[in-house]
């Protein structure tokens, strides 16, 4: 597959991710408090689905790992927002089973899977570990958000979510620079401003 087409897939995923942050940011500015709008989670699952495909085409384990770790948290938030039950049964099944199907497919040829993701000359071991660590930190924000929201009984985006977003995003941007990956660099750079702004909004809300 030509590289321009692969990058197009990656940028289309980042459009969904950037749109979710932009919409959430605008809605939070208007409400003068940090919101967790339903559209944020709809755009998240769309972007995650596409970015996982991009990661596979780039043979980039760090990207795929990050999406697999957060995927079902997105689905839980769709359920918490009441969106899941409105989806067609076929769409529900597709969303639930796609990651499982991908894992089972990869297991049919583990040698090829290992060669594609862990023997990639473009990604030395130290860079793979660094990129994966950045993705894990970035993804922990959704694990934290999930646990926090379960405790509160509703989908929320607490301050810890934005701190983890900021830290993980900085790591992923630097990883993208090493990888010379414009999709990661552009996509994550846009989010940095929104993460900082959400922290400021949350801080102002707290001191009132």
Domain ranges of the chain: 3-207
pLDDT in tens, 160-203: 999 999 999 999 999 999 888 999 898 888 888 889 999 998 88
- pLDDT bin (cut points 50, 70, 90) of residue 94 is very high
What integer pLDDT is reported at residue 187 of this predicted model?
Answer: 85
What integer pLDDT is reported at residue 56 of this predicted model?
Answer: 86
Mean pLDDT, the chain, as a whole number? 88
d(CA 46, CA 57): 17
What integer pLDDT is reported at residue 25 of this predicted model?
Answer: 92
Long-range CB contact pairs, 139-142, < 8 A, 24+:
139/65, 139/66, 139/69, 139/70, 139/168, 140/164, 140/168, 141/165, 141/168, 142/69, 142/70, 142/73, 142/74
d(CA 204, CA 208): 6
More confident residue, 201 or 122: 201
- Burial (0-12, 13-18, 19+ Cβ within 10 Å), 169: buried
86: DSSP letter: G
End-to-end CA distance of the chain: 54
Tokens of 114: 């290992």
119: DSSP letter: S
Q: Which of 113, 10, 108 is nearest to 58 (CA)?
A: 10
pLDDT in tens, 51-75: 999 988 888 888 888 888 889 999 9
Q: What's the predicted TM-score (pTM) here?
A: 0.83
- pLDDT bin (cut points 50, 70, 90) of residue 103 is confident
Q: What is the largest CA-CA distance in the chain?
A: 58
- pLDDT bin (cut points 50, 70, 90) of residue 113 is low
What integer pLDDT is reported at residue 166 of this predicted model?
Answer: 94
Percent of the chain with pLDDT over 70: 95
pLDDT in tens, 20-33: 999 999 999 999 89
Torsion region of 181: left, alpha or beta (phi above 0 gives left; psi -120 to 50 gives alpha): beta
d(CA 12, CA 7): 8
What integer pLDDT is reported at residue 81 of this predicted model?
Answer: 93
What integer pLDDT is reported at residue 116 of this predicted model?
Answer: 66
DSSP strands (E only) in the chain: none
Instruction: Find out whether 118 and 57 touch, Cβ atoms under 8 Å.
Output: no
What integer pLDDT is reported at residue 118 of this predicted model?
Answer: 67
145 pLDDT more than 70:
yes
d(CA 6, CA 29): 35
């Amino acid at each position: 597959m030509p590289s321009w087409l692969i990058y197009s897939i990656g940028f289309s995923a980042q459009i969904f991710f950037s749109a979710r942050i932009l919409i959430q940011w605008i809605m939070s500015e208007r409400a003068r408090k940090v919101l967790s709008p339903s559209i944020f989670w709809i755009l998240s699952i769309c972007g995650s689905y596409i970015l996982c495909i991009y990661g596979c085409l780039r043979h980039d384990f760090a990207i795929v790992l990050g999406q697999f770790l957060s995927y079902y948290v997105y689905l839980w938030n769709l359920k918490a927002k009441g969106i899941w039950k409105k989806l067609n049964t076929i769409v529900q099944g597709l969303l639930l089973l796609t990651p499982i199907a991908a894992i089972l497919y990869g297991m049919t040829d583990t040698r090829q899977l290992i060669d594609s993701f862990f023997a990639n000359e473009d990604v030395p071991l130290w860079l793979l570990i660094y990129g994966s660590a950045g993705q894990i930190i970035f993804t922990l924000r959704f694990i934290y958000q999930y646990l926090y929201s379960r405790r509160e009984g509703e989908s929320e985006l607490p301050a810890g979510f934005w701190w983890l977003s900021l830290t993980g995003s900085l790591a992923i941007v630097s990883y993208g620079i090493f990888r010379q990956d414009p999709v990661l660099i552009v996509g994550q750079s846009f989010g940095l401003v929104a993460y900082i702004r959400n922290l400021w909004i949350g801080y102002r809300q707290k001191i009132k």
